[in-house]
Every structure is written in structure tokens, then in C-alpha cells.
Amino acid sequence: MTCHDRRPRWGEAALRRLMRRVKHVFQKGDGSSAESGGRRRNRIRSEAGGAALEFALTLPILLTLVFGFIEICMACYVHEMISEVARESTRYASVHGSTCLTGSGSTCTATSSSVNAYALATGWPNIGGGTVVPNTTYPGGGVSACTAGSQAPGCPVQVQVTYIFRLSIPFIPATNLNLSSSSEMYIVQ
């Protein structure tokens, strides 16, 4: 290439095209460049807190949903807990009927109050913080015509367990859920 031949080299042409593109990016719609007033930089800075604002607005909703889900799961657990307490207590009463004897020959008949005490002592964790209230009845009827209160084999025993669960979700007024479960079995001995 001689010194009079001024054709641009490939690198120079690519550099010019790149500079045109960069200049086009920094120009606004009205043709003025961003360097003249710095308005584009100010607009970028004013949008910088948008994500933080959106996060601040959605965080309470997200936390309400998360903690509400946790509370509902705890209520379901408590319902399963009182159902199991009712089943275990009914089974205890069904094997401790009027004909129940220990190895030494003494009676081991369960009364309503002893079945209720057994229900309270089953040892299930009370994560809801409420009170377990068992109620044992011998309703009568059944396979053999039993009278109410009879603890003879073949007569039914029923244990009903109630529980008041305090449902407290953030930003929602607290309410009480009345949970109850009952179980009925026939006395076997």
C-alpha cells in the first residue's frame, strides 16, 4: 500500500461502524445526545429503586401466604392428633371393660374419668397451644341390647375429643377453629 492510497483498512471500517452504533444508542428520540444534559443517566438512577419498592410491596403478601400455609398445616396436624387421641382412648376403654381382670385377679375396669385421664396422658405434642378436652360416654345399644352406661363386653364406648385451635395469620384477624373428633368401639373384655 502506498502513502497516497487512502482506502480504509478493514479494522478502521469496523471501528467506524461500531462508533456509529454507540452514538446511536446514546442519542435520544429528539436527536440530542445523552452527554449534553446527562438526562439518560438520571433516568437510570431514578429507576434503580424500583426493584426494592416492588419487593417491599410484595413481601407482606408473600409472608401472609407462607405463614397462613404454616398455620393451616398446624391445624391439620392438631386435627390428626386429636383423632389419634380419640382412637387410643377408645381402644383403652374397650379392653378395660367390666370383665377386665389383672394377673392377680383384681379388676381393671376403666371409668369415664380414667379414660379421660388416659386421653390427656397420651403424650402427643400440643403444638397448637390449645386444650385437649376428652369426653367418654357409654351410649348403650350395640350388638347386645346394652343400657346406657353399661361397660359389659359387646356394649359400645365412645370418646369425643374437642380442641379449640387459635388460627393467627399475619394481617388477618385471629379466629378460633373448633376441632373435634370422636371414636366408637365395642368393649371386648
Q: Encode pLDDT of 70-127 as tens digits.
A: 999 999 999 999 999 999 999 999 988 887 777 777 777 888 899 999 999 988 878 8
CA distances 90 to 10, 56, 58, 125, 128, Å, are 93, 52, 48, 19, 23
Rounded CA-CA distance 128/24 in Å is 64
> Tell me, what's the pLDDT at 155?
87
Model-wide pTM > 0.85:
no
C-alpha cell at 105: 385377679
Cell 446527562 sits on residue = 38
Q: Which residues, other chains included, contact 177 with Cβ-Cβ below 8 Å and sequence gap of 6+?
A: 75, 164, 165, 166, 167
Query: What is residue 174's DSSP assignment?
Result: -
Query: What is residue 27's DSSP assignment?
Result: B
Rounded CA-CA distance 81/6 in Å is 91
> Tell me, what's the pLDDT at 140?
79
Average pLDDT on 143-148 reads: 76
For residues 158 and 130, the model is more confident at 158
1 band by pLDDT with thresholds 50, 70 and 90 = low
pLDDT at 58 over 90: yes
Q: What's the domain range around 115? A: 70-186
> What is the greatest pairwise CA distance in the chain?
128
Assigned domain for 134 exists = yes
C-alpha cell at 70: 404454616
> Tell me, what's the pLDDT at 40?
58
Torsion, CA 45, CA 51, CA 57, CA 61, rounded to 10: 180
Rounded CA-CA distance 68/59 in Å is 14
Rounded CA-CA distance 157/140 in Å is 8
Assigned domain for 89 exists = yes
Q: Are 156 and 137 in contact (CB under 8 A)?
A: no
Average pLDDT on 165-176 reads: 88
Assigned domain for 170 exists = yes
Rounded CA-CA distance 128/146 in Å is 38
Rounded CA-CA distance 85/180 in Å is 11
**pLDDT above 70 as % of the chain:** 78
* Number of domains the chain is built from: 1
Rounded CA-CA distance 189/185 in Å is 12
Assigned domain for 10 exists = no
Assigned domain for 20 exists = no
Assigned domain for 116 exists = yes
Assigned domain for 167 exists = yes
pLDDT at 10 over 90: no
Assigned domain for 109 exists = yes
